[in-house]
Amino acid sequence: MAAAICLGAGRASPDRLLAILFDDFAHWRGDAPVMKVGIIGASGYSGELLVKLLLAHPHVTLAAVTSRTHAGKPLAQVIPALRGADRGLIFTASDAVTLAASDVELFFLALPHGAAAEFARVLVPAGKKVIDLSADFRIADLATYERYYGQHHAPELLPSARYVLPELTPPAWRIEAKLVAAPGCYPTSVLVPLQPLLTAGVVSRSHIVVNSFSGVSGAGRKIEEQYLFCERAESAKAYGLLKHRHLAEIEEQLSPRIGPPVVIQFNPHLAPMRRGIATTITVPAAPGASIEELYATWRQVFAGRPFVQILPSGETPDTAFVVGTNRVDIAAVYDPRTKNFVLTSAVDNLVKGASGQAVQIMNLWCGFPETAGLA
């Protein structure tokens, strides 16, 4: 709308205005020089979703999709849901150097842990924007990362990396980050309801108990017996107790820079559904804190955020209502008998828990409307 302002103020010649207008016009119409993006490693469940989201995004052109497994195959052959809608794209096997030399401006890394570094360490110095969906750059403390994930393959990039959960991370990242680490699925479902309350001192810092129930796609497209239909249908079980990798990420985000770290109990479970995470957090109220104070904190922190829905106390989020959207629904109750708050949240592990959040990050990083391609 720069054009409109100039016109109204008589500050520009008509020619100049037309140039600006056309630029805006084309930009909005999609004939504009839209930003070229690429996805590296797109054959998992979150990678597939990322492809779909970017193909439909009004401000980007998906210019490259790489996968060593599927190099040479048309997108629709690997992702049948995209038949007739894959713009004729073909998976390529491009290496990092070739991609760095291309005119693609931003890359999404949808590779397994450990594999992202190989590409990041070439693309970032080349000036490309990089959004990583793996855990490789989520954890600032190298020792912690290595304890949970093994050797880090690009620790030199950690200082220029930023962990970005858009609703919670202070906006300086848009300027500081050279590489953005998109949060994990469970962490998203936990941090959104919990982190603001810890920061505001509304909840206790100890005796935090997190239980999460996730759809099976959260485990990835691993071809293992435990993920067979006949094993997972009509089945619910806890897994990864005490040692789930997301624990490191959650605790690092919740802990203050100075002072003792926050330590939580994190109990993940597999649920007999494909997508969605329902998280229930039990945490003692800070002395004197009320449910009204909790809701006031949420409303303040999430004011104007398009992807967080605060439900009234007494209602509970249902994964079925968020699956397919980039939304987190949250709610809370206060139990006067135990003096606990019970916080509940629901997200789609593949959307707001992974690919949708990655696109939301891109939107903010590149100046697009935050909801572009994610309505």
Which residues from 6-25 bind its own copies, rule CB under 8 A? 7, 14-15, 17-18, 21-22, 24-25
103 is a contact residue toward its own copies (CB under 8 A)? no
Q: Which is nearer to its own copies, 17 or 126 (CB)?
A: 17
Instruction: Please compute Rg for the chain using Cα positions.
Output: 22
Stretch that binds its own copies, among 122-130, 142-150, 290-298, 312-320 (CB under 8 A): 312-320
Please choose, from the candidates 211, 210, 201, 202, the residue with its C-alpha nearest in 3D space to the C-alpha of residue 259. Answer: 201
Q: Which is nearer to its own copies, 121 or 232 (CB)?
A: 232
Residue 132 in contact with residue 121, Cβ under 8 Å?
Answer: no
32 is a contact residue toward its own copies (CB under 8 A)? no
69 is a contact residue toward its own copies (CB under 8 A)? no
d(CA 239, CA 186): 13
Catalytic annotation, pick one of 6, 185, 230, 366: 185
Give the interface size with its own copies as a residue count (CB under 8 A): 85
Q: Which of 12, 126, 342, 372 binds its own copies (CB under 8 A)?
A: 342
d(CA 326, CA 307): 6
DSSP type of residue 182: P
d(CA 200, CA 297): 7
Q: Is 367 exposed, middle or buried (0-12, 13-18, 19+ CB in 10 A)?
A: exposed
Phi, psi of 342 (to 5 degrees): -120, 115
229 is a contact residue toward its own copies (CB under 8 A)? yes
Q: Is 338 exposed, middle or buried (0-12, 13-18, 19+ CB in 10 A)?
A: exposed
Q: Which is nearer to its own copies, 73 or 153 (CB)?
A: 73
Residues 121-180 that bind its own copies (CB under 8 A): none
Q: Which is nearer to its own copies, 243 or 256 (CB)?
A: 243
d(CA 104, CA 45): 23
CA distances from 350 to 185, 338, 343 (A): 7, 34, 21
Q: Which is nearer to its own copies, 21 or 126 (CB)?
A: 21
- In a 3-state reduction of DSSP, which class is residue 108? strand
Residues 235-274 that bind its own copies (CB under 8 A): 235-239, 241-242, 263-265, 267, 269, 271-274
Q: Which of 38, 45, 100, 145 binds its own copies (CB under 8 A)?
A: 45
Q: Cα dihedral sign for 46, 49, 54, 58? A: negative
Stretch that binds its own copies, among 158-166, 194-202, 280-288, 293-301 (CB under 8 A): 280-288
Shortest spacing between CB 207 and its own copies, in angstroms: 5
End-to-end CA distance of the chain: 22
321 is a contact residue toward its own copies (CB under 8 A)? yes
329 is a contact residue toward its own copies (CB under 8 A)? yes
Q: Cα dihedral sign for 250, 254, 258, 260? A: negative
Q: Which of 200, 324, 370, 372 binds its own copies (CB under 8 A)?
A: 324
Stretch that binds its own copies, among 110-118, 147-155, 173-181, 226-234 (CB under 8 A): 226-234
Binding mask 283-302 for its own copies (x = CB under 8 A): -x------------------
Stretch that binds its own copies, among 140-148, 167-175, 183-191, 305-313 (CB under 8 A): 305-313
80 is a contact residue toward its own copies (CB under 8 A)? yes
Q: Which of 10, 127, 288, 337 binds its own copies (CB under 8 A)?
A: 337
Q: Cα dihedral sign for 143, 147, 149, 151? A: positive
Q: What angle do CA 247, 251, 252 make, to 5 degrees?
A: 115
Q: Which is nearer to its own copies, 146 or 221 (CB)?
A: 221
d(CA 51, CA 37): 10
Q: Which of 189, 217, 297, 357 binds its own copies (CB under 8 A)?
A: 217
- Active-site residue 185, yes or no? yes
Shortest spacing between CB 120 and its own copies, in angstroms: 28
- List the catalytic residues: 185
